[in-house]
């Protein structure tokens, strides 16, 4: 494992598998694991309520504070980010500065299948398929800044974790 890297940061659209793959990476590497959505829910309240109370921009400010505090800790860790963490330039810069940034991708059809039964994502509620297509179009270049891109459409979460570890060992 590349000795200088102390953070692996997973970015990507909702349902690309950041939370799932982060658990496998943490287990396999023996590193700590944090998920910005989970930290927000533990400290601030549920994401849906935060969107209702503060709006998306209020949520983004909370998310940015949580992300930066996770990035600035000294310990070796895997950080799964929320799908919209990449929208703020200051977040992108901080992620590139502090670790190895991996963008998970998947095609829209697979994402819809993965997220359709889950009501925890406020931006997808209602017309889930329509919302996935619309937001994917808005964010089509939002994940391009990452050091590595990995298409998880036909990969299992374990295969994705293995490929990230292989990329780090090169």
Q: Which of 8, 15, 16, 19 binds Mg ion (CB under 5 A)?
A: 19
The residue with its CB nearest to ligand ATP is 17
Regarding 35 and contact with ligand SKM (CB under 6 A), the answer is no
Regarding 45 and contact with ligand SKM (CB under 6 A), the answer is no
Regarding 33 and contact with ligand SKM (CB under 6 A), the answer is no
Please tell me whether residue 43 adopts helix, strand or coil conformation: helix
Regarding 121 and contact with ligand ATP (CB under 6 A), the answer is yes
| CA pair distance 54, 46, nearest whole angstrom | 12
Q: Is residue 23 annotated as involved in ligand binding?
A: no
Q: How far is the CB of 82 from ligand SKM (least distance, A)?
A: 3
Phi, psi of 155 (to 5 degrees): -110, 145
Regarding 81 and contact with Mg ion (CB under 5 A), the answer is no
């Amino acid at each position: 494992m590349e000795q200088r890297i102390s953070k692996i940061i997973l970015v990507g659209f909702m349902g690309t598998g950041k939370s799932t793959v982060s658990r496998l990476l943490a287990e396999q590497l023996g590193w700590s694991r944090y998920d910005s959505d989970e930290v927000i829910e533990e400290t601030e309240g549920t994401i849906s309520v935060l969107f209702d109370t503060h709006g998306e921009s209020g949520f983004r400010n909370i998310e940015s504070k949580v992300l930066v505090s996770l990035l600035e800790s000294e310990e070796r860790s895997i950080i799964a980010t929320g799908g919209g963490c990449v929208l703020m330039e200051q977040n992108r810069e901080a992620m590139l500065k502090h670790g190895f940034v991996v963008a998970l991708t998947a095609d829209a059809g697979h994402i819809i299948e993965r997220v359709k039964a889950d009501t925890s994502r406020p931006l997808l509620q209602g017309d889930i398929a329509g919302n996935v297509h619309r937001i994917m179009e808005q964010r089509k270049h939002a994940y391009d800044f990452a050091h590595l891109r990995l298409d998880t459409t036909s990969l299992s979460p374990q295969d994705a974790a293995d490929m990230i570890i292989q990329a780090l060992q090169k």
